[in-house]
């Protein structure tokens, strides 16, 4: 038993419909083919552009590496020259530094300017002296210094 998907009608009409359908399919396939060809052409252009940019980048890298090698060689020459100059003039520089050294002892302070006058001495007693004087609170609260009433200043010893 044959299963026929085509509609009933004369054989001639059915054949004409099938030819028309095939022509539409062919036109659609050709349209897809041309669109795919255009897309392939665009992708090929993008690929050529990417390869061109890669070649430019590789050329820049080669130039930068050459510049880096030149700069390293120049740095090495300068370093060699600097070491030679240090050996040659090192004793002279040391003698000048010793001749122009600051000879004021660090414990001498010029207080002739009124704004630079020293303040009065600050009494800094060790903790055991403060404990003996009764300035520390009980041992249960070691962070508290002074009498229980903190509103009054602590007298200096």
Question: Backbone phi, then psi, for 38, in 5-degree steps?
Answer: -65, -40
pLDDT of residue 26: 93
Per-residue model confidence as pLDDT tens digits over 106-151:
676 677 777 777 677 766 778 788 778 877 766 555 555 555 555 5
Kindly report the pTM of this predicted structure: 0.39
User: What's the CA gap between 27 and 44, in Å, rounded?
Assistant: 25
CA dihedral 91, 94, 99, 100 (to 10 degrees): 140
Per-residue model confidence as pLDDT tens digits over 85-99:
999 999 999 999 988
| Average pLDDT estimate for 20-45 | 93
- The more confidently predicted of residues 141 and 79 is 79
């Amino acid at each position: 038993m044959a299963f026929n998907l085509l509609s009933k009608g004369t054989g001639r009409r059915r054949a004409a419909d099938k030819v028309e359908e095939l022509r539409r399919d062919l036109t659609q396939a050709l349209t897809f083919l041309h669109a795919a060809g255009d897309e392939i052409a665009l992708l090929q252009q993008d690929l050529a552009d990417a390869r061109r940019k890669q070649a430019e980048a590789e050329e820049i890298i080669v130039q930068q590496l050459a510049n880096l090698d030149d700069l390293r060689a120049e740095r090495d020459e300068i370093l060699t020259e600097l070491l030679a100059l240090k050996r040659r003039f090192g004793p002279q520089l040391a003698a000048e530094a010793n001749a122009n050294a600051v000879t004021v002892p660090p414990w001498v302070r010029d207080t002739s300017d009124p704004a630079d006058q020293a303040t009065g001495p600050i009494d800094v007693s060790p903790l055991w002296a403060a404990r003996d004087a009764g300035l520390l609170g009980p041992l249960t609260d070691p962070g508290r210094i002074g009498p229980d009433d903190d509103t009054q200043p602590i007298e200096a010893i």
